[in-house]
């Protein structure tokens, strides 16, 4: 009996996630953060080091990160200690801190990059008036993680967004604070994003004496 064309097509169509690791990307551990910083420093990649540090501190989505302008980060010739960005996905503002490592790497990059407050922090190499694309940002993250021996399939741009949030949550257990830092409208989104489960809750409870 001849198989209908629709069934034949279905049998030949590859599964969309074949060979891929499906699920949330892992957050980086503190040791891995410093390994990537060392990797970038050794290769004198000022732009990449500034991009990496900003991604960790800002906890922004890639689409918001690459569209930041110099004026978002600089005031009076100094790198701000705090900045605010309007999120594209939610249309809500989110604030973040810039710690000394990020401010130092950003200052080194901007000294080389030049430009005005209206220019993008990370310009495209194809069109200098445009910004680094999210696709190129993802490629850079792949390069960084594989450069320090991590599996590219397990890490991505969301790893950088989740990293500091995960560290803060595990250190404090303050889910509401993490929700604010990530710019989530609902705390349920934060729970899902961090991958919090019963084991996490019990571990926090076990470390809290009364």
Residues in the chain: 210
Residue 48's CB is within 10 A of a number of other CB atoms, namely 21
What pLDDT score was predicted for residue 201?
56
Residue 80's CB is within 10 A of a number of other CB atoms, namely 17
% residues pLDDT > 90 (the chain): 55
Burial of 11 (0-12, 13-18, 19+ CB in 10 A): exposed
- Which residues of the chain are under the pLDDT cut of 50? 1, 3, 5-11, 15-22, 198
Judge contact between 176 and 188, C-beta under 8 A.
no
Judge contact between 34 and 19, C-beta under 8 A.
no
């Amino acid at each position: 009996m001849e198989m209908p064309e629709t069934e034949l097509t279905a049998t030949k169509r590859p599964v969309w996630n074949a060979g891929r690791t499906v699920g949330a990307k892992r957050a980086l551990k503190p040791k891995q953060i410093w390994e990537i910083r060392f990797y970038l420093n050794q290769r004198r990649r000022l732009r990449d080091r500034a991009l990496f540090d900003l991604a960790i501190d800002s906890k922004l989505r890639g689409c918001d990160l690459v569209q930041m302008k110099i004026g978002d980060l600089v005031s009076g010739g100094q790198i701000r200690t705090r900045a605010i960005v309007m999120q594209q996905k939610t249309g809500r503002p989110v604030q973040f801190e810039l710690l000394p490592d990020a401010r130092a790497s950003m200052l080194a990059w901007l000294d080389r990059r030049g430009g005005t407050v209206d220019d993008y922090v990370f310009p495209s190499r194809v069109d200098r008036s445009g910004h680094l694309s999210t696709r190129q940002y993802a490629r850079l993250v792949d390069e960084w993680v594989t450069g320090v021996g991590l599996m590219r399939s397990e890490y991505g741009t969301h790893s950088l967004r989740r990293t500091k949030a995960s560290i803060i949550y595990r250190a404090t257990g303050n889910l509401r604070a993490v929700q604010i830092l990530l710019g989530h409208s609902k705390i349920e989104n934060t729970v899902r994003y961090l991958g919090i489960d019963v084991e996490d809750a019990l571990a926090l409870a076990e470390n809290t004496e009364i």
